[in-house]
């Protein structure tokens, strides 16, 4: 055991890197959740049958006849949700401690790939129960692909093997879900670990550089063990208390209302309600992905402090920008719903302009005003400016996602849960 641990960790680590508020143990938690997914996934495979005729019944059988069947299904479901949330938080912590530069550049890029793999793992798993929720969420989710310019429709047909979800789609998703994606995840996580070691371990602030080096056993390993036990307890208790959803068997002739994409795509679906699909499903998501991948390569010219949010000014501007992003996103959603829908108000103008270019220009204009009035005066470094943009995009995305999940009801109308 000692040997295995020393293959993952170096013999000694800096005491400063052990501080919980440096990493919150999030990377290790994500790794444990992947292990839980693989173990519970393999157990589910003993009963699950990937065909439209049998998939749903195999889950009913699993729930009602198999000892701990319901519990294992719940654990797989909730740990998949936790994995996405924890990997997202880890991504935020890595960015906000500035741990994406120099020797960590490549790991940042591979981290982004890992995040995508986790989204795809969740997405392909979502279809497998073949109930109404699965069928219609994946129908909407894959429709987003068809909005991509030129190749969109063809790409969707290729991915789902036809115009509508069918037996082939289920088989393909099953193969990706239980073989291709777990394999890629495992390989990349191991590579990710290796790169963390190669970069000299977790990044620590320059003020802590003289901190003492301590043996990894028991210092780090003991802490990891505690975090793992607590996480395991939370996942298991949650799974014992809350059942994974299962609706009626999929019925392609009768759609659910509202028809929502899986929750992690609710933000994109919400964006589609306000922007032309060319912008909502292509330009904006692609722009954000390019920005995220480009971050480590932006020349900053400043010396990184490696502190959370870089500096006091960095923290202050991030807080203000988070507030600005909440206000502007909520205001945009309400404005489009209740005051003026550009597409309806300007029927003679092509939708690409009325529903795409015009609202985007207005948004950029408001961001420019915010910059001139507030951000410019702070004289931020280039890294801090990148941070401001990052915070804006992430907070806007979170607000859109929350709106899509909790505030869209029948016919995707804006509804307020407290009014019901």
Q: Which residues bind ligand HEM (CB under 6 A)?
A: 23, 26-28, 30-31, 34, 37-38, 41-42, 44-45, 48, 59, 73, 76-77, 80, 83, 87, 90-91, 94, 99-100, 104, 107-108, 111-112, 114-115, 118, 121-122, 125-126, 128-129, 177-178, 182, 185, 189, 192, 196, 199, 202-203, 244
141: which DSSP letter? H
Residue 16: closest CA among 198, 209, 220, 193: 209
Residue given tokens 């959603």 in the structure block: 333
Token pair for residue 284? 């904006």
Nearer to ligand HEM, 18 or 403 (CB): 18
Nearer to ligand HEM, 256 or 280 (CB): 256
Nearer to ligand HEM, 99 or 380 (CB): 99
Nearer to ligand HEM, 138 or 400 (CB): 138
Residue given tokens 């654990």 in the structure block: 75
Q: Are 29 and 231 in contact (CB under 8 A)?
A: yes
> Which residues are within 8 A (CB) of 372 and not within 5 positions of it... i.e. 6 or more apart?
none
> What is the Cα–Cα distance from 20 to 221, expressed in whole angstroms?
13
Token pair for residue 230? 């607590």
Nearer to ligand HEM, 87 or 333 (CB): 87
Sign of the CA dihedral with 61 first, then 63, 65, and 69 last: positive
Q: Kindly state the smallest distance separating residue 149's Cβ from ligand HEM, in Å.
A: 27
Nearer to ligand HEM, 73 or 408 (CB): 73
Nearer to ligand HEM, 248 or 413 (CB): 248
Q: Kindly state the smallest distance separating residue 341's Cβ from ligand HEM, in Å.
A: 34
Q: Kindly state the smallest distance separating residue 325's Cβ from ligand HEM, in Å.
A: 20
Token pair for residue 109? 């890029």
Residue 91: closest CA among 174, 162, 192: 192
Residue given tokens 């497998």 in the structure block: 128
Sign of the CA dihedral with 172 first, then 177, 182, and 185 last: positive
Nearer to ligand HEM, 76 or 156 (CB): 76
Q: Kindly state the smallest distance separating residue 240's Cβ from ligand HEM, in Å.
A: 16
Q: What is the DSSP string of 378-400?
A: G---HHHHHHHHHHHHHHHHHHH
> What is the Cα–Cα distance from 195 to 66, expressed in whole angstroms?
42
Nearer to ligand HEM, 196 or 400 (CB): 196
Token pair for residue 331? 């205001």
> What is the Cα–Cα distance from 94 to 298, expressed in whole angstroms?
16
Could you give phi then psi for residue 254, rounded to 5 degrees?
A: -135, 105
**Tally of CA atoms within 13 A in the half-sphere of 276 that contains its CB:** 19
Nearer to ligand HEM, 108 or 370 (CB): 108
Bridge pairing between strands 12-14 and 213-215: antiparallel
Q: Are 168 and 161 in contact (CB under 8 A)?
A: yes
Residue given tokens 């938690």 in the structure block: 29
Q: Kindly state the smallest distance separating residue 110's Cβ from ligand HEM, in Å.
A: 7
Q: Kindly state the smallest distance separating residue 171's Cβ from ligand HEM, in Å.
A: 13
């Amino acid at each position: 055991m000692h040997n295995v641990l020393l293959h993952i960790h170096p013999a000694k680590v800096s005491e400063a890197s052990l501080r919980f508020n440096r990493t919150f143990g999030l990377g290790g938690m994500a790794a444990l959740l992947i292990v839980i997914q693989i173990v519970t996934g393999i157990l589910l495979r003993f009963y699950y049958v990937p065909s439209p005729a049998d998939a749903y019944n195999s889950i009913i059988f699993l729930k009602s006849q198999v000892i701990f069947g319901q519990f294992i299904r719940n654990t797989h479901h909730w740990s998949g949700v936790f994995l996405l949330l924890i990997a997202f938080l880890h991504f935020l912590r890595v960015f906000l401690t500035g741990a994406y530069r120099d020797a960590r550049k490549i790991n940042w890029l591979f981290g982004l790939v890992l995040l995508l793999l986790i989204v795809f793992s969740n997405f392909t798993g979502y279809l497998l129960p073949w109930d109404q929720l699965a069928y219609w969420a994946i129908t909407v989710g894959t429709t987003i692909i068809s909005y991509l310019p030129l190749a969109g429709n063809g790409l969707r047909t290729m991915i789902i093997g036809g115009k509508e979800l069918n037996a082939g789609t289920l088989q393909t998703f099953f193969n990706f879900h239980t073989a291709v994606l777990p394999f890629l995840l495992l390989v990349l996580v191991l590579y990710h670990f290796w790169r963390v070691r190669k970069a000299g371990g977790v990044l620590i602030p320059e003020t802590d550089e003289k901190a003492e080096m301590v043996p990894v056993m028991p210092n780090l390993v003991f802490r990891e063990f505690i975090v793992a036990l607590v996480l395991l307890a939370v996942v298991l208790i949650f799974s014992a208390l809350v059942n994974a959803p299962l609706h009626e068997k999929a019925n392609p002739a009768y759609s659910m209302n509202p028809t929502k994409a899986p929750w992690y795509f609710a933000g994109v679906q919400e964006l589609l309600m306000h922007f032309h699909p060319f912008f909502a499903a292509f330009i904006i998501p692609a722009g954000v992905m390019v920005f995220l991948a480009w971050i480590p390569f932006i020349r900053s010219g400043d010396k990184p402090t490696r502190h959370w949010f870089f500096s006091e000014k960095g923290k202050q501007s991030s807080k203000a920008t988070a507030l600005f992003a909440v206000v502007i996103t909520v205001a945009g959603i309400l404005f489009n719903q209740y005051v003026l829908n550009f597409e309806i108000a300007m029927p003679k103008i092509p939708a690409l302009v009325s529903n795409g270019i015009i609202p985007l220009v207005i948004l950029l204009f408001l961001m420019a005003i915010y910059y001139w009035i507030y951000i410019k005066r702070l004289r931020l470094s280039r890294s801090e400016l990148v941070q401001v943009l990052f915070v804006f995009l992430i907070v806007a995305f979170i607000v859109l996602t929350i709106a899509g999940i909790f505030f869209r009801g029948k016919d995707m109308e804006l509804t307020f849960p407290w009014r019901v």
